[in-house]
Amino acid sequence: MKCCENCFQDPILLNIINSFDEQGDCDYCDSEDVYVVAIDDLADLFDVLYRLYSETQPYEHFHPELDSDYPHGDPLINLINEEWTIFSELIEGTGKDEKLLFDILKSNKSIYDYDSNYPDNLASYSRSKDNLYYEDPLHYLQNDWDAFSNEIKKENRFFNKNADRIFVGIERILKKKEKTIELSVPFFRGRIGKFGTDEMYGPP
């Protein structure tokens, strides 16, 4: 199965699709003679996105005895469309976006734990950070950070005895988050503003 440049509006995905330099017909939006890509070529990228969510579970995302309002959780496609501008207006909200999403996710079955993490388009999902027991990955550095912050502001600005613990902790976290990116992948930065690009200058 192949999707195409007209299925997406995300610039990174569009760039990836165009980099394959293959033209054909799209199996999802029915566009003809456009740049296309096999869906499994996008699986790893979408897996990163999928890991931000998990199936909604009692006692993890809600207390059954306390939260009587139903339904709990949302369709995964709704959460993704609310938080990301990935799919184009051509297919967003038509059902084609959901089919494409799960086809991509399921195209590389080997990367999932079949018992608990396999993508299910019939399930309800929640953001991983909405888990009742979610802890910020930096939470264990909070005491060290408070001590570092207090000392650098009020006691010793240049020879801070708490700095080493902070730097070691941050380095440990960054090492776990390392990811190799091809040099050909472009990166962009942006910020919300009401001015034109010739008026924005530096951020406030």
Question: How far is the C-alpha of 96 from the C-alpha of 27, rounded, in Å?
Answer: 10
Which pLDDT score, from 0 to 100, does residue 146 have? 78
Regarding predicted confidence, which is higher, 96 or 169? 96
Q: Is the dihedral of CA 86, 88, 93, 99 positive or negative?
A: negative
3-state secondary structure of 149: helix
In this structure, how many other beta carbons lie within 10 angstroms of the beta carbon of residue 5? 21
The answer to whether 61 touches 37, Cβ cutoff 8 Å, is no
Q: Which two tokens stand for residue 124?
A: 């309800």
> Is 70 exceeded by the pLDDT of residue 157?
no
Lowest-confidence region among 50-59, 87-96, 131-140: 131-140
DSSP annotation of 172 = H
Q: What is the pLDDT of residues 7-55, one digit of tens each?
A: 999 998 999 999 999 999 999 999 999 999 999 999 988 988 898 888 8
